[in-house]
A and B are shown apart, each in its own frame.
Chain A
Amino acid sequence: MQRRQFLVLSAASIGGVLVYSLDRNAFRLAAEERSVRIPLRFFTQDEAMIVAAASSRIFPSDESGPGAREAGVVVYIDRQLAGPYGRDRYRYTAGPFEEGVEEQGYQGEANPRQIYREALRNLAGFDQLTPADQDQALTKIEDTEFFKLLRSHAIEGMFCDPIHGGNADMIGWQLIGYPGPRMSNLKDVDQHFGEAFRPKPAGLQETFGTETRLHPSEDEQ
């Protein structure tokens, strides 16, 4: 049996932020804790470190605010790849696989898991590079299917409902002033013209509690 892999994150970089573990329990990391170990469902620890570093160059933590690292984008991607999406449960995967024109869309046989695994092999050691060298390495692969997926997944992991493992502490929503699913905007929709109206964010679990359904993008077997 494969040894269980963990993502070890330094608490210094994400101190004070909620982290969603893979069993959907949230816990808050205190700055004084040295590190946190998050069990991985799909990635190896080395792969997870590369994905964490690369998604952090796409959506960096910088002077304009927190980014992929704080939102837990790597945890989100790990779960998505472990679930039916990662193995192309909902894609037409019958052959023959032929090269097409761009407007016919991705025609490859590889599913997201295979695309990541292959690309990450070629990026071995990426997380050890300087940010400038990391950017250069990513620029070289900008047109690949892997990069397209990674960029989309970084945005998804920033702004999805926290039940999916990303957007920890609703940090992505706080960053853009998105309140999450609100049951009514009836009184406000034609008010506040020209001013920012920013209700406090709440996710599905805060809004619906135990009624929140399990979601097949991760849970369906």
Chain B
Amino acid sequence: MKTLPRTDVVIVGGGWTGLLMAKELGARTHLSIVVLERGAPREPNGYRTDMDELDYAIRLRMMQDPSLETVTLRHHPKQRALPMRKLASFLPGTGVGGAGEHWQGFCPRFSPDFFELRTRTVERYGAKRLPEDCDIRDWGMTYDELEPHYARAENLMGVSGKAGNLNGKILPGGDPFEGSRSTEYPTPPMKMPHLAEMFRTAAQSIGLHPYPIPAATISVPYTNADGIHRPGCVYCGYCERFGCMIGSKAQPSNTLLPVIARHKNVSIRTRSNVRRILHDQSGKHPHARGVVYIDSTGQEVFQPADLVILSSWTLNNTRLLLLSGVGEPYDPVTGKGTLGRNLTHQVSLGATVFFDKPLNRFMGAGSSGIMVSDFDADNFDHEKLDFLRGAKAVVASSGARPIASFGAVPGSVKARWGSEWKKAALRYYDQTGSIHFSGEHMAYTSNFMDLDPTYKDHWGDPLLRFTLNWQDNERKMAEFLGARGQEMARAMGATEISLPGKLGNYDATHYQSTHIQGGTIMGKAPAESVLNPWLQHWSLSNLFVLGASTFPQNPSGNPTLTILAQTYRTADAIVARYLKQPGPMAG
């Protein structure tokens, strides 16, 4: 195996977090930085002619290729895990920019109590209310510590929205439940298409507190602190599963790549597939030595580095540590080991609502719409309820595309094909909307990731295995939310409503969200977590891990803004502290 010349920093994965770290270290230090990305290169604004629903939204052209690597799933250890042969319930990206290219652009901050979930929940309801195998944690970092970095991440992307709590003052039109913000959103809220406007009016009429979805598909032209200029959104309706045709949606390719290009100390190597982290744990100072990857010519090479940043999304962050023998894999029987535990997937439910007027719903943007946080987090009293935590209710006018949208009919129509179905589906095609709930998923000792004993990837390495299922807390929450959905739909003037069915077993066959989290969680003590609160590995202090694999449990909100804020915070810590005195920063 060829050994390449040493570099100061190697970054594994060229998505939002890896490229943000490359930009920050590239601009603020003279370190030599190499980013290794398994997929293809991308150009800023390279999506002009790609508004093709079939290839992109149905055949998933921008996503990870499951013929090369996927994950296996079982609901419990007695079931046989089988591969997710096609991507469906979540959609990881590949190529420069990763999933950050084809995301929808929702940018909510997490509720302050979410960062201290165990402490706050036990304080209010007592430890007895926690389900037996519940494993919720405090993050070891508070909302207040993260707040300035949230503001930086919003400024990087020019997020559109309306503050609900500015320096402790509650403002009308925003989210009154949000944590105190130091700044207003960089750009005003997006325009509201008809369906979203109907939801805002309806939510207000029943005493809820609707607010515009904080959006990375920005409302007006914006120039950020790096001098990156992006145009305002034109509501073409091709956001999620697509790259933005005009570069309005913040994507790593249009927001980070042009800045990275200014810094000669950063290089990005594409089609470079990292297989192992090499490490030396024999001496006094255990450390990562660098990474082995397969380069674009198919050669296996070793890239030595002083600092290793792992930013390859939840799946490969966890799998690379497992394959490389870094840390102790979690054992659900003994409860020992930290690597792979706290696997979560956001709870995702939708009520389909039918109206008697056209909605012109082909117009919209990924994140133009309305959110409601009245039934989120601990914003409502759970004393007399049979579950903990909650969900955001969302009505997004994301731009309905016909292949995915055609065919919804009210429950009174039983046919799913033929003339009767066609007639009803045509009538309701533009008269259908959805009230979506994205709910918190608490961590449990029974949900985790490890290496599959049977199935292998294209290179012969074991696939990652999910042991994952819903529990009573999510099922009861879903029931409660269904009833709230019905009240909201009635207030919108819906003529018919199809409520979500009962939450059964975890279903790998339909899309929920791309918010798979955990596996390399952060926390306050080495016995409990893989990383310290600076996202630094507890035993290899020159290894940092970025992204939602670090979340101890799953929030109700979309994770991108928070992982960017965390990355800023870690970049600061590396520059201000680690580089001056390499070694453990906590513990």
> Are the C-beta atoms of B422 and A59 separated by less than 8 Å?
yes
> Are the C-beta atoms of A94 and B86 separated by less than 8 Å?
no
Instruction: Select one of A58, A105, A154, A185 contacting B85, CB under 8 A.
Output: A105
Prevailing SS type, chain A contact patch: loop
User: What are the residues of chain A within 8 A of B85 when measuring CB–CB?
Assistant: 91-93, 105-107
A85-B59, A183-B234, A183-B236 known; A189 vs B406 contact (CB < 8 Å):
no
> Are the C-beta atoms of B236 and A182 separated by less than 8 Å?
yes
User: What are the residues of chain B within 8 A of A27 when measuring CB–CB?
Assistant: none
Q: How far is the CB of A75 from chain B (nearest CB, A)?
A: 14
Per-residue CB contact flags for chain A residues 194-221 toward chain B (1 = under 8 Å, else 0) read 1111000000100110011101110000
Interface residues on B, range: 35 or more
User: What are the residues of chain B within 8 A of A195 when measuring CB–CB?
Assistant: 358
Per-residue CB contact flags for chain B residues 395-408 toward chain A (1 = under 8 Å, else 0) read 00000001100110
A64-B419, A155-B407, A185-B236 known; A96 vs B454 contact (CB < 8 Å):
yes
> Are the C-beta atoms of A189 and B363 separated by less than 8 Å?
yes
A54 to B214, CA, bound (A): 46
User: What are the residues of chain B within 8 A of A151 when measuring CB–CB?
Assistant: 416-417
> Are the C-beta atoms of B192 and A204 separated by less than 8 Å?
no
> Are the C-beta atoms of B53 and A160 separated by less than 8 Å?
yes
> Are the C-beta atoms of A104 and B508 separated by less than 8 Å?
yes
Interface centre among B234, B407, B456, B506 (most CB of A within 10 A): B234
| A173 interface hit (Cβ, 8 Å) | yes
| A3 interface hit (Cβ, 8 Å) | no
A92 to B72, CA, bound (A): 11
| A146 interface hit (Cβ, 8 Å) | no
> Are the C-beta atoms of B86 and A105 separated by less than 8 Å?
yes
User: What are the residues of chain A within 8 A of B524 when measuring CB–CB?
Assistant: none
Which residues in chain A, 45-70, are within 8 Å of chain B measured between CB atoms? 57-60, 62, 64-65, 67
Which residues in chain B, 239-273, are within 8 Å of chain A measured between CB atoms? 245
| A159 interface hit (Cβ, 8 Å) | yes
Instruction: Select one of B406, B454, B505 contacting A176, CB under 8 A.
Output: B406
A103 to B60, CA, bound (A): 20
Q: How far is the CB of B378 from chain A (nearest CB, A)?
A: 30
> Are the C-beta atoms of A158 and B235 separated by less than 8 Å?
no
> Are the C-beta atoms of B192 and A190 separated by less than 8 Å?
yes
| B144 interface hit (Cβ, 8 Å) | no
Which residues in chain A, 119-176, are within 8 Å of chain B measured between CB atoms? 135, 138, 151, 154-156, 158-161, 163-164, 172-173, 175-176
User: What are the residues of chain B within 8 A of A62 when measuring CB–CB?
Assistant: 419, 422-423
Which residues in chain A, 66-90, are within 8 Å of chain B measured between CB atoms? 67, 85, 88-90
Instruction: Select one of B67, B83, B362 contacting A178, CB under 8 A.
Output: B362
Which residues in chain B, 361-390, are within 8 Å of chain A measured between CB atoms? 362-364, 368
| A98 interface hit (Cβ, 8 Å) | yes
> Are the C-beta atoms of B506 and A103 separated by less than 8 Å?
yes
| B65 interface hit (Cβ, 8 Å) | yes
A213 to B55, CA, bound (A): 11
A160 to B455, CA, bound (A): 35
**Number of A-B pairs whose CB atoms are under 8 Å?**
187
User: What are the residues of chain A within 8 A of B237 when measuring CB–CB?
Assistant: 185
A62 to B406, CA, bound (A): 18
> Are the C-beta atoms of B53 and A57 separated by less than 8 Å?
no
> Are the C-beta atoms of B51 and A185 separated by less than 8 Å?
no
| A184 interface hit (Cβ, 8 Å) | yes
A85-B59, A103-B509, A106-B86 known; A212 vs B67 contact (CB < 8 Å):
no
Instruction: Select one of B88, B455, B507 contacting A94, CB under 8 A.
Output: B455
> Are the C-beta atoms of B53 and A189 separated by less than 8 Å?
no
| B573 interface hit (Cβ, 8 Å) | no
User: What are the residues of chain A within 8 A of B163 when measuring CB–CB?
Assistant: none
Instruction: Select one of A92, A155, A161, A211 contacting B48, CB under 8 A.
Output: A211
A89-B67, A93-B67, A151-B417 known; A217 vs B363 contact (CB < 8 Å):
no
Per-residue CB contact flags for chain B residues 72-84 toward chain A (1 = under 8 Å, else 0) read 0101000110111
User: What are the residues of chain A within 8 A of B456 when measuring CB–CB?
Assistant: 94
> Are the C-beta atoms of B88 and A105 separated by less than 8 Å?
yes
Residues of B whose CB lies within 8 Å of any CB of A are: 48-55, 58-61, 65-67, 70, 73, 75, 79-80, 82-86, 88, 191-194, 197, 232-238, 245, 357-358, 360, 362-364, 368, 402-403, 406-407, 416-419, 422-423, 426, 429-430, 454-456, 504-509
Listed A/B pairs (9) with beta-carbon separation below 8 Å: A64-B423, A65-B426, A90-B65, A100-B80, A104-B509, A106-B86, A173-B402, A189-B235, A211-B48
